[in-house]
Amino acid sequence: MVNRTRHQQLLERAQAADVEALGELLEDYRAYLTVLAQRYLDTRLRGRLDAADIVQVTFLEAQRDLPNFRGHQIEELLGWLRHILRNNVSSAHQKHLYTQKRSAGREVSNSPSDSRPALTDLAPSETTSPSQRMMRDEAAVFLANCLEDLPDTQREALRLRYVEGQSLKQISEAMNKTEMAVAGLLKRGLQALRNKMLSDSSSG
């Protein structure tokens, strides 16, 4: 599981003007914030905007504005980073979408296309208790980092299926593979993810 004690120590050092500690801390959250950015982005912008670029802008703003951050706990930092990320996604939407004439027929939902649970519902509800949010944060960061270690095709198939909620047919078209091949990628990816999580948990 994510080493919260280490992250807490990095946060304290970062707030004492240790630039390297802040860089190390943010880097640990890159995968987590990238998954969130991919989920927040309107589907019409996926080809024009890279989630990684939005995360990078978020990091730059976090580095600039850290002196104004008044929290002291790692979960407060994550909430602050999510807030900055959402603002950057919102700005991207306004720049690229809201200047265009919009109609109900062009609206695109970001919700999963079916009722299956998402692999990563990564943003914790504010109605949960602080301890529950802390556990949810740690699990989400850990899961996102595990996803990063999978082969590209497995990671992409899992992202399209469980983060974006696409069907096998949609994924097969997006990845230029047969539905059977996609099903195989999903099966192997889930197994590899499960093994990775178990391995990291036991060694942590």
Domains and CATH numbers, the chain: 1-97+122-129 (1.10.1740.10), 149-204 (1.10.10.10)
Give pLDDT, residue 128: 54
Predicted local confidence at residue 130, as pLDDT: 58
In 34-82, beta strands by DSSP E: none
- Per the structure block, which two tokens stand in for 105? 């027929």
Tell me the pLDDT tens digit for each residue of 87-122.
Answer: 999 888 888 776 654 543 444 444 333 333 344 444
The C-alpha torsion from 56 through 58 and 60 to 64, rounded to 10°, is -170
Instruction: Out of 30-39, 92-101, 187-196, pick the least confident.
Output: 92-101
What is the DSSP code (8-state) at residue 29? T
Band of the pLDDT at 133, cuts 50, 70, 90?
A: low
**Which of 72-76, 107-111, 162-166 comes out lowest in average pLDDT?**
107-111
Q: What is the pLDDT of residue 200?
A: 65
- Cβ atoms 189, 157 nearer than 8 A: yes
**Predicted local confidence at residue 104, as pLDDT:** 38
Write out the two tokens for 190.
Answer: 């889930």
What's residue 101's pLDDT? 46
Q: pLDDT-based confidence at 56, cuts 50/70/90?
A: very high
* CB atoms closer than 10 angstroms to residue 127: 7
**pLDDT at residue 203, as a whole number:** 58
Spatial separation of the C-alpha atoms in residues 103 and 67, rounded to whole Å: 42
